[in-house]
Amino acid sequence: MFEFWRKREDQFEVEMKLIRDEINRSERFGYGFVLLVVELSHSAPRGLSKLFPGRTLSFHILEKNLRSYDKVGETALRRYHVLLPQTDGEGAQVIEARIKELARKSNFGDVTIGSACYPDDGKTPRALIEHAVSQIPHF
């Protein structure tokens, strides 16, 4: 039972490291990126998830329908972080619309998305996450 929570904490640390790495890359090459926090109102059908403990089917569908260099991570039950390198606010809106359409077609339930642009909305992983989460209305 405690292994489940340890894995969630480890996943959060992995996500923080991915964001820190992207911040370093962005500073080095002079471009921005967008962090999306995607929340689903209810669990997606389990399907393939039985083969992948700790991940819902929606994770795999979401990951498969984004750009090859975008990074998706599940940080909590029904909450995902999507890292969009070399993307600005307008590009993020296009991706948000794509995710919402995908959710409608795949029957994920209600989807809410918060976004944070680096460096405008925050310069640390925690600040970016907090900004994106603050934009999500609670169900």
- The predicted structure's pLDDT at residue 45: 52
pTM above 0.75, yes or no: yes
**When comparing pLDDT for 73 and 22, which is higher?**
22
pLDDT beyond 80 at 2: no
- The CATH code of the domain at 2-134 is 3.30.70.270
| Percent of all residues in the chain with a pLDDT value above 70, rounded to a whole number | 76
Cα separation, 88 vs 55, in Å, equals: 28
CA–CA separation, 115 and 26 (whole Å): 17
Separation CA 96–CA 20 (nearest Å): 22
Quote the pLDDT of residue 16.
87
Which pLDDT belongs to residue 63? 76
* Residue ranges covered by each domain of the chain: 2-134
